[in-house]
Every structure is written in C-alpha cells, then in structure tokens.
Amino acid sequence: MSGGDPLLSVRDLKKHYPVKRGFLRRTVGHVKAVDGIDLELRRGETLALVGESGCGKSTAARSLLHLDSPTGGEVRFDGESVGSFDDAELNRFRRRAQLLLQNPDEAFNPRIPVGESVAEPIDIHGVSDAERREELVADRLERVGIDPETADRYPHEFSGGQKQRLALARALVFDPDLLVADEPTSALDERVQTRILSLLETLQARHDLAILFISHDIRTVRRFCDRVAVMYLGEIVERGPVDAVFEDPQHPYTQALVDAVPTLDPDERGGTKPLGGDVPDPADPPSGCRFHTRCPVVIPPEEYDIDAETFRAVLDLRLAVTADDVDIQRLRNRLDDGDDERLRAVLRERYGVPVSLPDDDAEGALSAALDALLAGDEEAALEQLETSFTTVCERREPETHETAAGSAACHRRDESSPF
Amino acid sequence: MTLLSVEGLRVEFPTDEGTVKAVDGVDFTVDRGEVVCLVGETGSGKTAACEALTRIADGAAVAGSVHFDGRELTDCDDRTLRSVRGDRIAHVFQQPGTSLDPVYSVGDQIIEAIRLHDDASRSEARARAISLLEDVGIAAPAERIDAYPHQLSGGMRQRVAIAVALAADPDLLVADEPTTALDVTLQAGLLELLQELSSARDLAVLLVTHDLGVVAELADRVVVLYGGRVMERGGVGALFDRPAHPYTRLLFRSLRGVAEGTDDRPTPADGGCPFRSECPHAVPDCADGYPAFHAANGDAGHEVACVFYGPDYDIATLGGGGGS
C-alpha cells in the first residue's frame, strides 16, 4: 500500500432518483439509492464495497465515476474535484478510471472480433496510429493471459473466464489508475474466479492500480481486499480492514452477512438463524437505524426486562400489523373457528414470541394489543404496540463510532447504551 | 429406499459444429427424503444430466437408463412423461422467472399447478395455494397470493417457484442452482427451507450447484461431475474430509485461494479421463478409456474414478488431501 494523498476521495456522495406518478408524472418521492457515503482509496489499494442487492453498491460505483451525475456530495480524483471537470477533463478522468462489469458479454459485440472490441476505447479517445493501436491491443491481451494471435476471433469462441480477461484487457487499455470492479467474478465458476482474482492481484502490484471491488461475496472479499465498507440501504454502516471487520464485526448487519456465508464444513451446517426479510424499499427507508426492521439484536425498550431475541419477535409482530400482514379472519377460518386462546398462541408462534413475556408490564401491553387485534380493532392494537414497544434504534439515527480498527454506526456502541 | 436410479446416462446436443456430448455415461442414485448434490463447473454436464431425467431440454438425444420409482422413464411416451414431470418430479431453476409466468398472478400459477394434477375445486385449490405459500415462508400469503411475480423480491420469487413445484406434492425436486442468483443472506434462508421441506415431506432433492458451500450446507451425498463424467461420489462428510479425485482436490485448493489451471474449455469427451489435460498428475493410462471406479480412502460408498486408486498405482503419488 502506498502512502500519500488518496487517489479517490468521496465525501457525502448522494444519488437520489425521483419517483414519478400519474398522468402529469409528478415527483411523489425519492429513491435514496446512495444517501451520503464517504470513501477513500489510495494507489495500489483494494477497497471492497459489500452489501446485499438493492443496498446501492452499483449506483454508488456509477455515480462516483460520474457515469450518472450524483445528486450531492463531492468526488475528488487525484486531488481534483470531478464535479467541476469540463468535457476534456472528464474524458481524461474516464480514461484513468475504468469500470469492469459482472457480465463480460455486455462488453462485447458478438459480431466484432475481440481485438477490435478491446481497441474500441482507443478509437473513441482518438488514437489514429494503426501500428501503435495494434501494439497496445497485443500488449494488453498478453497482460491478461490471452494469446494476441486470437485477437481476430469472435466472443463465442472464448470461455466465460477468457471473456472476463478480455473485458479486463479493454479496461486496462489506457493504463488506468483506478479500476471499479462491479461483481467481476460472481458469474464465474469457483476456479475461474480464483484465477481472475489472482490476475487482478498481479496487475495491481505491477501497475500500482487502485481497485474498488464491489461484491456480495464475503469469502472473495476477505481473500482479495485490504479494507472494506459495508453498505446497507444507501449508507455505510461499518468500515475497516477486512480481517478485523469480518473476524469481529462491530455492526449487526456485518455480523449477519458473515453468518450467512456457508462454512464449507458439513458438520457445522445450519449454525445461525438466517437474517429475515428483504432489503426494505429505498424510496421509504426505515427511520432511525435503517437496519432496525431486520436487526437480530435490536435494542429492547429500557423499561422492560426482555432480551433482544424476544424483543425482535415482538417487533416483528408489530411491523407485520403495521404492514397489514396479519389477517385474523383468515387465521380464524384456517383454525376452523378455533377459540381466541388458540389464535393467540398461533400468532405468537408465527413471530417467535414466547407464550408469555418474562416481563409483566411487557406481557400486559402485548396481551392488550392481541386482545384488540382479535376483537377486530386493528387501529387500537397498532397504537398499543407502537406506544409500548419502541426502540432507540428506530427513534434516532445512530452516530458513527470509532472501533478498534475502523468505525461502525450502531446504537449498541452509544456510551449511554447498556450493551 | 432408492427412488431414482440413473445408469449410463448419455446426453448429446446437435450443434452447427457437430454433436456435443454433454453427458457421457453418468450413474447416480437418489433415495427418498435424501438430498443429493450434483457438483460441477460450466460444461460439466450437470444441468444436461438433470434436464434429461424428464427430457425437458429440446433437441437433446438421451440414452441410458433413468429408473424412477419402479418405472423406466427413457421408454415412456410423451404423455406418461408429462404426467411424471410436475406430478412426481418437479423442477426449480436458477432464475425464478424461468418457472413463473409474468402475466399471471402467483396464486393463479399455483392453483393451475394444483388443478393440473388433482381435481380440486377452485376454492379448495386456492386455500391449498395459500397454505403452500405459507409453507415456503411467504409472509401474509393471503395477500401475496394475488401479487404478480414482478411485485415480489428475487428471494420471494424463488420461494414462489418452489411453491409451484410443490403444488402436485412431488417425490423428487430437481433444483438447478436455485440460490446462485440470490444474495448470501437470502441463500441461507432458502437452503434452510429446502432442508425443512426435504425432512418434513420426505422429499428427495437433487440439487445442481457449482458452489461447495451450498453442498456443505445441504447435501447428504455428493456426485462430482467434470466433462460429462462422474469424477467422485460419496457421503458429504467423507468427501469434504478427504476429497479423493485430483479434480475435487483442486476445487478445494481454489477455495483457499490457490490459482491453478487455465480458462481453456475442457477437452470434449473422447473416452479418456476428461480431466487429464488439466490434471497435475496425468499419466498415459489416463487416456486409455474412462477410468473405473475404485473405493476411495476406505469410506463406505465413497468412490473415485481415477487410475491412481487402481491396483497399478500408489495413491501416495497424489500427495496430501485438500479437503475443507
């Protein structure tokens, strides 16, 4: 890793898309795909951006490259603000900062020989010397381990791994300083992935290339990257050196990603409970900590003596009632008009709520809410649940705290937090 | 009890450049309630092999024996085959979109699948569809049943595809890379679901995957394919503890970050060990016909098709293991 100023510095980057409805296409809201992220990347360094689909990783990549203009924030490249570039400067920036995509087929026209496709950026940026052009292509093909003699063949004559090598050759035509690689290996077989990553490592060392590696594959990131930023719903929730972050995650979302990675040991299967639910709609992100709707260790209300797992279950029930997902009538029909006692038990079981909460006040509040629900008064049930079972995680946005090796944004790290 | 027994399966596809042998003599069995994983890379023949069971691939020439619950499927006429497909053997694919029709609601598709195999009334079928959605872990199934596929997330669509597959209460579920297009978080949940379904319904699962992590999570037994041939097969514990075939060992080494081999396409089936052009230990005998199966490391049911495990060679030449 080289010292000095960062090659890429991203401050408070935002990319919001308007949501339009109706005949007049009025803007009724915004999808906050990227909502204020900071990143720093030095020459020769690999930074991973990880998270589930829909968390905003790819949008972040496109907007920091100014392929889509950011809604807000600043991107500095080699000390200069990309937002203030004129066309010529932007062209120069695009030569120095390249994007490598997941599917190499998108980079190649099936009817054009691969050598021509690799040379395409040269033509766009106006290098007209034919001999120089041919030399460049041959050299880049050699770098990625493709025989230059095969440059006149067509894409379908190459394997998936070879096509990704060709896409890489094309990205490297101008000797870029920065490579943004968006899931570059996730469509490939395991052994091909390993070989491509090893090639990237070699090229990086030789050319002092900075790589922003976007991935949902924790195992690959651990193997290949220096530092990691974990992204959830448009925000960065944790960052630090890969080993520290993945060996001792400080944010529950990072922990959940790590827990979801299969162990490769058949004796240890089914260890942890998978993270429930999907990534929420970024047009309407949850309040406070955006992860509170799924977090397995969401902080219980101070006034009750209940553990995080129990509170998670009660909160799941509350969120289901909010989302109108609890259909008492149907449940009654299914239980053949079973009595209310049975109905209560089934509801509790469905959300993992114990038969009776260990705290009397909490149990009183929950019973009252279930009574209202069974009586058909959903509004009262919801009000009861929303006043009795709230968490700091939904009330306040967590601050970003320094951790042993990096930082994490979680209320469990607040000084006032009992955890 | 053996539910499916595949012997000498061959699958060929006609192409512009001649016939391609995708599968060239593959044997495996699946017991009731058991999860068997077919593991292989692109071009290993794993997908062609499982699509050949009920002949769902157009234009493929299938030979060999597919014995399913007392019936030889390769001899069946199209009508019988259609009733086996869906009714007894159901398929789930990598892209849930492949199994779901975008213009029909989720409920209509499950209800149709139920009524195709059972003369239930529409309202009975609807009630069953709702409880199927519940079984596959869809929250608020009574509302979601009227949703269209595009209104659901990728993870939910895959669960719905499984619900459609289960509509006729099949004995065997053939799942081709069902979690590959999903995030790890969703993958973990879906693997857990397949595990639950397999034990709760005594459902046999034939899972096709390239991901050894998925195999470790779910498989009872494993069949490793390369170039249209079985390289190695055995119980998941034995195979992960002591992978025997040089190819399987290479797979495990790759997971630890060791980059070996080339991205060239595998050599087409020609009667010799298909892995020999990549194998670090290849000897002239490897080209002399397909290697026979030998017991690997003395574990019951763990077999390997490699000359080094035969009487003429010493397996010590292959060096140390390479397991998980």
Place of tokens 């009330």: A395
- Containing structural domain, residue B185: 1-88+170-324
Q: Which of B41, B143, B213 sits opposite A189 (nearest CB)?
A: B41
Residue A261 to residue B184, Cβ atoms within 8 A:
yes
Residues B133 and B227 in one domain: no
Q: What is the pLDDT of residues B154-208, one digit of tens each?
A: 888 999 999 999 998 999 999 999 988 888 888 888 999 999 999 999 999 999 9
What is chain B's percent helix, strand, coil content, to nearest 5? Answer: 40, 25, 40
Name which of A164, A160, A119 is nearest A139 in CA terms.
A119
In this prediction, residue B256 carries a pLDDT of: 87
CA dist., res. A218 & res. A236, Å (int): 16
A297: closest CA among A315, A285, A312, A287?
Answer: A312
- Examine the domain organization and report whether B162 and B176 are in the same domain: no
Using a CB-CB distance cutoff of 8 angstroms, which residues of chain B are in contact with residue A266? 216-217, 219, 236-237, 240, 324
Cα–Cα distance, B49 to B70 (Å, whole number): 20
- Alpha-carbon distances of A125 from A81, A136, A168, A271, rounded to whole Å: 22, 14, 18, 53
Confidence of residue B287 (pLDDT cuts 50, 70, 90): very high
- The dihedral sign for the CA sequence B203, B208, B213, B214: negative
Which of B185, B216, B259 is facing A263, going by the closest CB pair? B216
- Give a yes or no: residue B93 inside a domain: no
Q: Is the pLDDT of residue B17 over 90?
A: no
pLDDT digits (tens, 9 = 90+) for B201-258: 999 999 999 999 999 999 999 999 999 999 999 999 999 999 999 999 999 999 888 8
The number of angstroms, rounded, from the C-alpha of B18 to the middle of its chain's C-alpha atoms is: 27
By C-alpha distance, the chain B residue nearest A162 is B263
Q: Which amino acid is at B160?
A: V
Residue A194 with chain B: CB contacts under 8 Å = 254-255, 257-259
Which residue among B169, B189, B224 closes a domain?
A: B169
d(CA B155, CA B161) in angstroms, rounded, equals 10
The CATH number linked to B242 is 3.40.50.300
The helix-helix angle for B106-117 and B78-87 (nearest 10°) equals 130
Do B81 and B107 reside in the same domain of the chain? no
Nearest neighbour of B216 by CB, restricted to A256, A266, A327: A266
Question: Of the spans A131-135, A137-141, B40-44, which averages the highest pLDDT?
Answer: A137-141
> Which of A257, A320, A325 comes nearest B184 by C-beta?
A257
Interface of A with B in 242-281 (CB under 8 A): 256-257, 259-267, 269-270, 274-276, 278-279
Largest CA distance in chain B: 67
pLDDT in tens, A260-276: 888 889 988 877 778 87
Q: List the single residue in B with minimal CA-CA distance to A200.
A: B259
Give the β-pairing of A8-21 and B35-39: unpaired
Please give the residue of chain B at the shortest CA–CA distance from A147.
B264
Average pLDDT, chain B: 90
Amino acid at B104: Y
d(CA B17, CA A258): 46
B286 and B316 co-located in one domain: yes
Do the Cβ atoms of A274 and B188 come within 8 Å? yes
pLDDT tens readout for residues A204-256? 999 999 999 999 999 999 999 999 999 999 999 999 999 999 999 999 999 99
Strand partners, A9: A40, A76
User: Does A401 have pLDDT greater than 80?
Assistant: yes
pLDDT at B119 over 80: yes
Neighboring chain A residues of B236 at a CB cutoff of 8 Å:
266
Q: Nearest residue on chain A to B222, judged by CA atoms?
A: A266
Quick count: other Cβ atoms within 10 Å of Cβ A86? Answer: 7
- Residue listed under structure tokens 């789930």: B92
The one-letter amino acid code at B270 reads: D
Chain A 124-153, residues with CB within 8 Å of chain B CB atoms: 145
Residue contact B259–A198, C-beta within 8 A: yes
Q: Can you give the pLDDT at residue B2? A: 95
Burial of A27 (0-12, 13-18, 19+ CB in 10 A): exposed
**Do B213 and A264 count as a contact with CB atoms less than 8 A apart?**
yes
- Give the 3-state secondary structure of residue B135: helix
Instruction: Using CB atoms, pick whichever of B217, B251, B263 lies closest to residue A159.
Output: B263
| Mean of pLDDT values over A182-198 | 91
Domain A8-259 in CATH: superfamily? P-loop containing nucleotide triphosphate hydrolases (3.40.50.300)
Question: What pLDDT, on a 0 to 100 scale, did the predictor assign at position A53?
Answer: 85
In a domain, B255, yes or no: yes
User: Sign of the C-alpha dihedral, residues A238, A3, A222, B186?
Assistant: positive
Q: Find where tokens 């009654």 sit.
A: A332
Q: What is the CA radius of gyration of chain B?
A: 21
pLDDT bucket at A370, cuts 50 / 70 / 90: very high
Which strands form A97-100's sheet, in the order they lie side by side? A97-100, A178-182, A210-215, A46-50, A227-232, A235-241, A407-409, A400-402
Q: Span A83-100, mean pLDDT?
A: 94
Q: What is the DSSP letter of A300?
A: P
Question: Is residue A2's pLDDT more than 60?
Answer: no
CB A146 within 8 A of CB A79: no
DSSP letter string, B257-290: T---S-SSPPPPP-SS-TTTTT-TT--GGGGSSS
Domain boundary among B169, B192, B216: B169
Kindly identify which residue of chain B lies nearest to residue A261, measuring between CA atoms: B184
Cα-Cα-Cα-Cα dihedral sign, residues A185, A188, A192, A193: positive
Closest to A265 (Cβ–Cβ): which among B187, B216, B218? B216
| pLDDT higher at B117 or A399 | A399
Question: Looking at residue A171, what is its pLDDT?
Answer: 94
Q: Quickly count: other Cβ atoms within 10 Å of residue A180's Cβ.
A: 27
Beta-bridge mates of residue B209: B39
**DSSP helix/strand/coil, A323:** coil
* Nearest CB to A274; choose among B154, B192, B236: B192
Q: Among A266, A189, A157, which Cα is nearest to B259's?
A: A189
> CB distance B236–A266 less than 8 Å?
yes
In this prediction, residue A377 has a pLDDT band, given cuts at 50, 70 and 90, of: very high
Tell me the C-alpha distance between A58 and A99, whole Å.
11
For residues B157 and B205, state if they share a domain.
no
Alpha-carbon distance B318 to nearest alpha carbon in chain A (angstroms): 20
Q: Tell me the range of A127-136, A322-331, A381-390, B70-79 where mean pLDDT is highest.
A: A381-390
Q: Check residue B321 and give its pLDDT.
A: 59
Name the CA dihedral angle for A330, A332, A337, A339, rounded to a multiple of 10 degrees.
Answer: 180
In terms of pLDDT, which residue wins out, B275 or A28? Answer: B275
Q: Average pLDDT, stretch B53-73?
A: 91
Q: Residue A1: pLDDT band by 50, 70, 90 thresholds?
A: very low
- C-alpha–C-alpha distance, residues A317 and A10, integer Å: 39
Domains of chain A: which residue ranges?
8-259, 308-390
Choose, out of A58, A194, A331, the residue to mutate when testing the contact with B (most B CBs < 10 Å): A194
**Alpha-carbon gap, residue B10 to B150, rounded angstroms:** 38
B208, B256: one domain: yes
Judgement on whether residues B198 and B160 belong to the same structural domain of the protein = no
State the CB neighbour count (10 A cutoff) for residue B158: 30
CA B109 from centre of chain:
24
Sort out which chain A residues have CB atoms less than 8 A from B188's CB and list them. 259-260, 262, 274-275
Residue B201 · residue B31 · CB < 8 Å? no
Tell me if chain B has a CB within 8 Å of the CB of A216.
Answer: yes
Of B143, B155, B254, nearest to A191 by CB-CB distance is B254
Q: What is the mean pLDDT of chain A?
A: 91
- CA–CA distances in Å: residue B285 to residues A70, A194, A258, B48, B314: 62, 30, 45, 28, 14
Domain identity same for B135 and B239:
no
Q: pTM for the complete prediction?
A: 0.91
d(CA A322, CA A77): 45
Q: Is residue B204 part of a domain?
A: yes
On the question of pLDDT at A24 being above 70, the answer is yes
Stretch A171-193: mean pLDDT, rounded? 92
Tokens representing B248 are 């399987």
**A391: CB partners within 8 A, 6+ apart:** A288, A292, A298, A299, A300, A301, A311, A315
Q: Please report the pLDDT score of residue B43 as a whole number.
A: 87
> CB–CB of A323 and B216 under 8 A?
no
Q: In terms of pLDDT, which residue wins out, B263 or A7?
A: A7
More confident residue, A343 or A274: A343
Confidence of residue A106 (pLDDT cuts 50, 70, 90): confident
Q: Does B213 lie in the same domain as B78?
A: yes
A343-to-A332, A346, A382, B296 alpha-carbon distances in Å: 7, 5, 18, 55
* A327–B140 C-beta distance less than 8 A: yes
Could you say which of B154, B169, B184 is where a domain stops? B169
Interacting residues of A268 by C-beta distance below 8 A, sequence separation 6+: none
Could you give the number of structural domains in chain B?
A: 2
Residue A115 has pLDDT above 70, yes or no: yes
Using CA atoms, how far apart are residues B233 and B7, in angstroms rounded to an integer? 14
Q: What is the pLDDT of residue A337?
A: 62
Q: What is the pLDDT of residue A314?
A: 97
Can you give the pLDDT at residue B210?
Answer: 92
What is the spatial distance between Cα A338 and Cα A299, in angstroms, rounded to a whole number? Answer: 35
Instruction: State whether B260 and B114 are in the same domain.
Output: no
On whether both B176 and B259 belong to a single domain, the answer is yes
Distances (CA, A) of A386 to A316, A320, A348, B22: 12, 12, 17, 59
pLDDT in tens, A278-323: 788 888 999 999 999 999 999 999 999 999 999 999 999 999 999 8
Contact (Cβ atoms closer than 8 angstroms) between residue B260 and residue A154:
no
Chain A environment of B46 (Cβ under 8 Å)? none
Please name the member of A160, A264, A276 whose beta carbon is closest to the beta carbon of B212. Answer: A264
Looking at the structure, tell me whether residues B224 and B106 fall in a common domain.
Answer: no
In the predicted model, is pLDDT for residue B106 greater than 70?
yes
Q: What chain A residue is nearest to B259 in terms of C-alpha separation?
A: A195
- Per DSSP, helices labelled H in A73-228 are 87-96, 114-124, 130-143, 160-171, 190-207, 218-224
pLDDT for residue B322: 57
pLDDT for B267 equals: 67
- Chain B residues in contact with A195 by the CB 8 A cut-off are 259-263
Q: How far is CA A305 from CA A300, A309, A347, B323, in A?
A: 8, 12, 22, 46
Q: Identify the bridge partners of residue A308 per DSSP, sorted by sequence position.
A: none
Given an 8 Å threshold on Cβ–Cβ distance, is A278 in contact with B254?
no
ipTM reported for the complex, 2 dp: 0.87
For the residues A71-99, what does the mean pLDDT come to? Answer: 95
The CA-atom distances, in angstroms, between A196 and each of A118, A345, B93, B116 are 18, 53, 27, 47
Cα gap A300→B202, rounded to integer Å? 40
Structure tokens at A253: 């979302």
Q: How many CB pairs under 8 A join A and B?
A: 131
Inside any domain, residue B80:
yes
In a domain, B94, yes or no: no
Interface touch B210/A189, C-beta < 8 Å: yes
Q: Over 60: is that where the pLDDT of A3 sits?
A: no
Please say if the pLDDT value at position B324 is more than 70. no
The predicted structure's pLDDT at residue A325: 79
